[in-house]
Amino acid sequence: MPIEMDLHLPRNAFTPRDAARAGDVWRCCQDAAVLGASRLGWDPPRFRREGAAFVVREMTTVHHAEGRYGDVVRATTWISNFRRALLCSRQIRLNIDGKPFASSTQEWAHVSTEGGRMRAARAKPRLVEDMAVEGPDSSVSLPNYSKAPGTLHTFTFTAWHTWMDPLAHANHPAYVDWAEEAVARLAYAGGVNPMNIQPVAESAKWRVGAMAPDQVTVTTRQLGRTAEGAVVCVHEVTAAQTGPAATVYTVRQLVNGDTDRLARALA
């Protein structure tokens, strides 16, 4: 059966509008996934003892509303697929006061960490048994959009050592932060207040993880508009040492409804 739990977003997850940032909604989903696995007997200490881990290959999140500080987030999570003891699909649904807050589908790859080296490997039979499929495979997807490609924009930064997660690479919600920063910088340069940008959806797919102190470059291009007018951008994240790391898609609108201004700023 799906697992349910109550979660809270921390104070630093909120913008000056007191709206939860997209990357922190992704962190909330990550907590749901980790706590969901823990409820099945696989908490982080056990994964370390067993020399096993899961890394995110792909994740898509759709936002239904904006969260406010102090909201109790009711999370429901279940495993919807586990293929060849390697690839695990997890569904997460977040609600606030009984209303949809965010929906997410995560695709995880199992890796072995035995010997201090991380490599793709089939999960042990007990892990596969404990992570049995628990619910429907109702995966989340990005909204459709019409194509109107824009120009390329880039910015580069150094990955901090203090950003590294328990697997010694940048945690997957950080990539949403970086894409969000790319949109914010372009919006600000175009005369749009970045604090008025509202997340609609994101999707990301990883090839390798960015690690400190590598130089990371985010290349952003507007792709088009949804039927509701939200702006769709693609962000290619490249690490200097390892090459292409991830592709992130963001779908954004303005809270005041004048999303045409955002589209012009991101063109």
**pLDDT tens profile 182-205:** 999 999 999 999 999 999 999 999
Helix axis angle for 22-39 and 173-189, nearest 10°, is 170
Weakest-pLDDT range from 13-17, 135-139, 140-144, 168-172: 135-139
Is the same domain home to 162 and 252? yes
Would you say residue 161 lies in a domain?
yes
Q: How far is CA 47 from the centre of its chain?
A: 22
In the predicted model, is pLDDT for residue 257 greater than 90? no
Is the same domain home to 90 and 153? no
Is the same domain home to 150 and 257? yes
Q: What is d(CA 21, CA 11) in angstroms, rounded to the nearest whole number?
A: 11
Is the same domain home to 75 and 159? no
Is the same domain home to 8 and 126? yes
pLDDT tens, residue by residue, 30-76: 999 999 999 999 999 999 999 999 999 999 999 999 999 999 999 99
pLDDT tens, residue by residue, 111-157: 998 887 888 999 999 999 998 887 788 899 999 999 888 899 999 99
Q: Report the SS3 class of residue 112.
A: strand
Q: Which of 66, 98, 130 is the last residue of a domain?
A: 130
Mean pLDDT calculated for residue range 214-237:
97
Six-digit token pair at 14?
């909120």
Range of the domain at 113: 3-130
Is the same domain home to 103 and 155? no
Is the same domain home to 159 and 187? yes
Six-digit token pair at 56?
């995110």
Is the same domain home to 114 and 211? no
- C-alpha distances in Å from residue 128, one per residue of 77, 114, 136: 17, 18, 17
Is the same domain home to 170 and 195? yes
Would you say residue 136 lies in a domain?
no
Residue 159 has a pLDDT of: 96
State the chain's mean pLDDT as an integer: 95
CATH number at residue 160: 3.10.129.10
Residue 15 has a pLDDT of: 95
Residue 256 has a pLDDT of: 85
CA dihedral 225, 228, 229, 231 (to 10 degrees): -50
Residue 117 has a pLDDT of: 83
Residue 114 has a pLDDT of: 86
Residue 150 has a pLDDT of: 85
Give 49's contacts (C-beta < 8 A, 6+ positions apart).
none
Q: Which of 81, 100, 130 is the last residue of a domain?
A: 130
Would you say residue 140 lies in a domain?
no
Mean pLDDT calculated for residue range 93-102:
98
Q: pLDDT over 90 for what percent of the chain?
A: 88
Q: pLDDT over 70 for what percent of the chain?
A: 100
pLDDT tens, residue by residue, 175-185: 999 999 999 99
Would you say residue 139 lies in a domain?
no
Total structural domains in the chain? 2
Residue 205 has a pLDDT of: 98
Q: Which of 84, 103, 130 is the last residue of a domain?
A: 130
Is the same domain home to 34 and 72? yes
Structural contact between residues 204 and 151, judged by C-beta atoms closer than 8 angstroms: no
Mean pLDDT calculated for residue range 232-258:
95
